[in-house]
Chains A and B, each alone.
Chain A
């Protein structure tokens, strides 16, 4: 009897998990007071004003010049940050995979320590790193570069470590039997296996780095985000749009680039030898190297930022002062020994958690509603064996919406949304959802594009209509992958909640910003601690759910 129940539970496991997730999402919505007027009356006028200026972006020579300059700075920080991230990620990643040693204990220690370092560095959002670096390093470009490099290196390192551990064991054993050292195994055994995967993932992170680099400038380090924030604070929407268009263009270019690279990896063997020589891979690598050189040249010579000055004794003193502040050594009662402040912080932590659940829930719903027509194989009819003008039209519109939604940083979405909605958790959640829906949509559409067409085709020839094809053909196949992307984005959203809090969306972020502005460092320690716990909880649950849903 008991056995039967467990058996039937096992079979329906996925169903129960989905049900549970939906319930959690619905429960998070109860945190909002739906009775009140959520949208306020005057907001419409404001939104119309904002939208009107889309059609009339400020294209004056001065603004374009500023936009070009800021775009360049954004790219420079992103590239410089990525180079350091790649260095840090590849070293720490290899060490965290433990493949360089045969000694069991040494391996455990190395894996333990480096996995820990990697997960700590990626747990904190780049904007928070930027804040901390500005406070301890000053307004140096390195504050932005390090702030990007540390969490990005953490992510790259972890992905690399996972990929290295997933490499099939037989070829490696063969190499070892032939007498290859651990280093040789790494270069000739492991790396060729993970190379393509890492290349495309790194490029994807590069796209993210450009968006992050925009956000980074919100702490005052120059770049597109800085300009956007300035113009937004002065309510000059025509300028905001000009800068946003540049940002969108930048994201689209990187997106196209990584798309080309992925495609060329798939069809490499068909190309002619000569063509292969000038292949997109090679070209990409040259371009990237060129970008790296010019970026560092710019940082070092044009901005005259010297790395050594960062490590001056003067700076060490400021950093020391900052850290004693964080530890509350010069305070009679640091915030983390204050019971009332703990209560506030825990309340805010709870709010933040609700906001993240709400955000991913909304993003998921919108994605599921749009993802099918957004898949290229649906639009051109390979999936359903029928193609029409309308399919192409909806494909185009949705894809543009995806690009637009993810090119605009959460912070800017939030700044616009507060004009329309009553303040509270909902605007923050919506801003996060708006940004993530574009990313989630893109990732999920790619899953559909890469899936096996045959079962759906079969349904189609058997006379199934579109809804049936979707329900019985597409969804069952793509759902596990979707779920894993959804959880992955949830983790990211959790890290980002602190950022939207900066503009008054509630949660930990707002309090964090206030404490930063008032230089109440021991409060920051406590808030960061709560934030880290949230991030680790998110990581843990998403891992658990992903395993359970498999």
Chain B
């Protein structure tokens, strides 16, 4: 018994020592490698088709590597806030953000820049859905109705719907039946309304259209009653200091590579429902930033 005990303790001790010393070694070797080819990390907010997107992003990263001659690696994220944090810490060099997460990221890293988006993102919309047959025809009718947003960090699933509800004179914190819910994803939102968990909800228009086309949602149970005016949404944002870290002209090279992506290049394009990407700039998102400030999400 005693012998075992000593055995275990000594093994543990040796293990931990070995682990620590190996840790030092490995940093040295990775540092050396880093000099040769620093990894260029890209990330993506978990917004829709997350499972499929995460699985096919590796090949998107490979294409980007080829086009830019950088060592591009995809870092999966399951949480919006985690991606923004990673971006702030400089662990992600290029990220696919939603309108709000992009604004959050750029307010944390002021030198970062929105460079590209899909054509639809210039005039993105949200739809408000309800259980079929309920007497809800406008946003003002949402009083005393149970309501679900998507993820709290989503622009099309939370920020803009909340904004338009408030424009119509309702306070989402007190005028619904109970507090508003945050379903976490657009797909979950329509399923929650379909199952009857919530009487109404708001989500991204492209997710909704896809769900209807593919028969994922039962249109006998759920219907749209309001579509918002257009606003700017998703975008590719590059982090600060790319040119210093990866060589002069890296930012432009990355931007060019993204703008040259076409539909057949990667499955990612299909999953994002994008034929191509177009240019964008930070100023396009001022309206969203104002809304976020007005709603107290950004202080």
Residues of A in contact with B (beta carbons under 8 Å apart): 40-43, 45-46, 62, 66, 83, 86-87, 134-135, 138-139, 187-188, 191-192, 195, 217-220, 222, 226-227, 229-236, 239, 281-282, 285, 289, 292-293, 296, 300-301, 304, 306-309, 314, 318, 331, 418-424, 503-504, 506, 510, 513-514, 516-520
Contacts and interface: CB of A to CB of B under 8 A. Distances in A.
Chain A interface SS verdict (over half): helix
A220 B76 contact: yes
A83 B46 contact: no
Interface string B1-13: 1101111100110
Interface string B177-191: 011011111011001
B197 interface: yes
Nearest to B50: A230
A422 B197 contact: yes
Interface in B79-101: 79-86, 88-91
B192 interface: yes
A308 B78 contact: no
B178 A424 contact: yes
Given A138-B89, A217-B78, A233-B184, A419 B22 contact: no
8 contacts: A41-B196, A195-B5, A220-B83, A233-B46, A235-B191, A282-B4, A292-B15, A520-B299
B16 interface: yes
B56 to A, nearest CB: 11
Interface string B58-90: 000000000000000001111111111110111
A183 B23 CA distance: 31
Given A230-B51, A514-B182, A138 B196 contact: no
A239 B81 CA distance: 25
Interface string B89-120: 11100000000000010001000000000000
Interface centre among A42, A83, A135 (most CB of B within 10 A): A42
A517 B153 contact: yes
B109 to A, nearest CB: 12
A356 B29 CA distance: 49
Nearest to A36: B177
A98 B38 CA distance: 50
Contacts of A233: 46, 50-51, 184-185, 187-188
Contacts of B178: 423-424
A296 B15 contact: yes
B51 A239 contact: yes
Given A219-B78, A227-B51, A308-B23, 9 more contacts: A187-B6, A219-B82, A222-B76, A236-B51, A239-B51, A293-B15, A314-B89, A506-B179, A517-B81
Contacts of B30: 304, 306
A231 B51 contact: yes
A516 B81 contact: yes
B126 interface: no
Contacts of B104: 518-519
Contact of B52 (A232, A234, A510): A234
Given A195-B1, A222-B76, A87 B12 contact: yes
Contacts of A229: 78
A431 B77 CA distance: 25
A419 B192 contact: yes
A114 B142 CA distance: 54
B152 A517 contact: yes
B222 to A, nearest CB: 9
B26 A139 contact: no
Contacts of A420: 195, 197
Contacts of B48: 234
B85 A46 contact: no
A503 B184 contact: yes
Contacts of A43: 195-197
A286 to B, nearest CB: 10
Given A134-B82, A187-B2, A513-B152, A230 B191 contact: no
B235 interface: no
Given A139-B75, A217-B78, A517-B80, A301 B15 contact: no
B51 A234 contact: yes
A103 to B, nearest CB: 26
Interface centre among A43, A234, A331 (most CB of B within 10 A): A234
B289 interface: no
Nearest to B19: A296
B283 interface: no
A245 to B, nearest CB: 17
A227 B151 CA distance: 18
Contacts of A227: 51
Contacts of B46: 230, 233
Nearest to B193: A42
A514 B82 CA distance: 13
Nearest to A299: B19
B194 interface: yes
Nearest to B158: A517
Contacts of B91: 138-139
Contacts of A292: 12, 15
A304 B75 CA distance: 14
A318 B182 contact: no
A76 to B, nearest CB: 13
Contact of B85 (A134, A419, A504, A510): A134
A318 B89 contact: yes
B171 to A, nearest CB: 14
A508 B75 CA distance: 30
Contacts of A309: 27
A227 B52 CA distance: 11
Contact of B82 (A195, A220, A422): A220
A300 B196 contact: no
B195 A419 contact: yes
Contact of B26 (A46, A188, A304, A514): A304
Given A233-B50, A504-B183, A218 B78 contact: yes
B219 interface: no
Contacts of B191: 46, 235, 419
B12 A423 contact: no
Contacts of A318: 88-89
Contacts of A222: 76
Contacts of B192: 418-419
B297 interface: yes
A292 to B, nearest CB: 6
B26 A42 contact: no
B297 A300 contact: no
B183 A42 contact: no
B16 A504 contact: no
B195 A45 contact: yes
Contacts of B77: 139, 220
Contacts of A422: 146, 197
Given A42-B221, A226-B78, A234-B51, A308 B27 contact: yes
Interface in B13-58: 15-16, 19-20, 22-24, 26-27, 30, 46, 48-52, 54-55
A227 B131 CA distance: 30
B185 A331 contact: no
B212 interface: no
Interface string B274-299: 00000000000000000000000111
